[in-house]
Every structure is written in structure tokens, then in C-alpha cells.
Amino acid sequence: MAQVYDRVALIGLGLIASSMFWAMKRSGLAGEVTGYARSDETRATAREIGLCDVVYDDIKDAVRGADLVVLCVPVGVMGPVMAQIADALAPGATVTDVGSVKKDVIEQITPHLPEGVHFIAGHPLAGTEHSGPRAGFAELFDNRWCLLVPPEGADPEAIARLRNLWEGIGANVEEMDAEHHDLVLAVTSHAPHLIAYTMVGVADDLRRVTDSEVIKYSAAGFRDFTRIAASDPTMWRDVFLSNKEATLEILGRFTEELFALQRAIRQGDGDHLFDYFTRTRAIRRGIIEAGQDTDAPNFGRSAGRKL
């Protein structure tokens, strides 16, 4: 792949930023990659493992001269971070983000956007339950989707360059408007995470079984709930508060479906249960056929690979 940007600045050095760095270096997509993290410890770790060509102690130094700035911070602080870096951004630079909520992030960032700087919201649909700079790996985005949410009237060349970067990293790219994105993600990610957190919390509260039994006898279903519920608590707190309307809408639908299943179980309605499970099973087959997972018993997650 040809180089897409001369200098890329990664703000926040967790799983996504780390994986972006290794993927960009794998394909030669950026001339230089700078980085910044709020925590001294995170910056020290990044330097130790060679994450970024230069890691700065000052956020403004990290973004100076960058033609692409990627905000890899929790969605709740996107606005304040943008306000910090605004006067250090180069004219003609592009700012993007990797947050899983788009309408709120756009509303936070837009007021701080300097004239002549492009903002194209983004969201790579990839991740693991692991976090921090050591968690990243170059293959994270391979054959995963990255959704771009450009504002009305966005510069076509800036969009094309950012698309080229994500495609070079290995992702499939699609454009979407912010409200639709937030509704889709409420269905595919946000509500499932909240349900996983709830199920693990219920198991923790059940004093009829001991903690050791919950862990010792974890079947695949509960085990995968715990994998999802191990995700970064700061990130997910901000996601739910930032995508409140769409998440509450989907949770309302979920509650209605749950009541219907409770009624079927109570009334011994096996036909309803069988039809429901048959219909939902087809969704799983569709995900596998789309290349977004595998039908291997362990979902393709080997012990040595954080997928």
C-alpha cells in the first residue's frame, strides 16, 4: 500500500490506537505516527513497546504538523480534548475519532473545530475485551467494518483519504448518517453489552450458588457474557450516557420480547419458543456467512489471539 498521510497523531493509546499503529506500520500507510496519552504510565508503556514513532508528554506537541489526528479517547471527553488541541491543529488537517456513538460526539467536537480543519467522524467495528496499549495488534481490523459519518458538505478529498487509510488497515468502509449509526449500534453493540453486564451482575447477586460455582461451572453462554462484560468500564459508561435515546428504545423493545418469552415459558407454549429460536438462529448463520465470525466451537478465539 502507498503512504496515505505524512504524519498521523493518535490521541489516547489504548487498544484501538495501538492496533491502528501496528496496522499502519504493517502497510506503510503513514510516514510518522505520534502519540499522546493522559496517563504517565500509559505513555511510559507505549515508549517501552515501541508504540508510535514519538510519544509526547504534551497533547499539543503530539498534534502539531499532523495531517490526520485520531481521537481515541472515551466519548464523554471528546469535546474537552478537541478544545485542548484546536489551536495547535495544522490548516487542512483532518480530525477523526473512533467512538461508538456519533451524534453526541459530532455535537461535542464541531463547536471547537477551527476553520480549514476537516472533521470526519468514524467508528471501527472491532475490539476485544482487553484494553491498554499492550492489547493492540495489527490484524484487529482485518475484514471488519469501519463506518464513516462525514458532515454535510464535507470535503470529498478528505473523506477519500480517510477511507483509503481504513481500507489499507484492512477494514471494509461504509458511510452512514449519525442518527442511523447510533440506532444500529444500539442494536448490535450497546444493548448487548448492557444485557451482558446485567446477566453477570445477576449471577454475582445469586447467593444460592457460591462465586466458585459460578466460575467453575460456567458454560459457554455465561462465559461469553463475562467476556463482553470485562470491557472497559469508563468507555461503556460514556457510551450509554451519550447514546441514551437509541439505547433506551432498543432496551424497551428487548423488554417486550422478554415478557413474550416469559409468557410462552409460563404457558408451556413450545411452538412459540421453537419458532422464535429458529428465527434468531438464522441471524447467527448470517453473521458467519458475512465473514464476521466463525462457527468454530470457540468462535475462532484461540488462547494466544485476542479476537
* Distance from C-alpha of 70 to C-alpha of 75, rounded to nearest angstrom: 13
Residues 237, 231: Cα–Cα separation, whole Å = 11
Q: What is the pLDDT of residue 216?
A: 72
**Residues paired with residue 7 on neighbouring β-strands, in sequence order:** 32
pLDDT value at position 150? 96
Reading phi first (left if > 0) and then psi (alpha if -120 to 50, else beta), residue 138 is in: alpha
pTM over 0.75: yes
Give yes or no for a contact between 52 and 34, defined as CB atoms under 8 angstroms apart.
Answer: yes
pLDDT in tens, the chain (307 residues): 789 999 999 999 999 999 999 999 999 999 999 999 999 999 999 999 999 999 999 999 999 999 999 999 999 999 999 999 999 999 999 999 999 999 999 999 999 999 999 999 999 999 887 889 999 999 999 999 999 999 989 999 999 999 999 999 999 999 999 999 999 999 888 888 888 888 888 877 775 556 667 767 776 678 778 878 887 888 889 889 988 999 999 999 999 999 999 999 999 999 999 999 998 888 888 877 777 776 665 544 443 343 3
pLDDT of residue 299: 45
Which domains occur in the chain, in start order? 5-176 (3.40.50.720), 180-268 (1.10.3660.10)
The pLDDT score that the predictor gives to residue 289 is 79
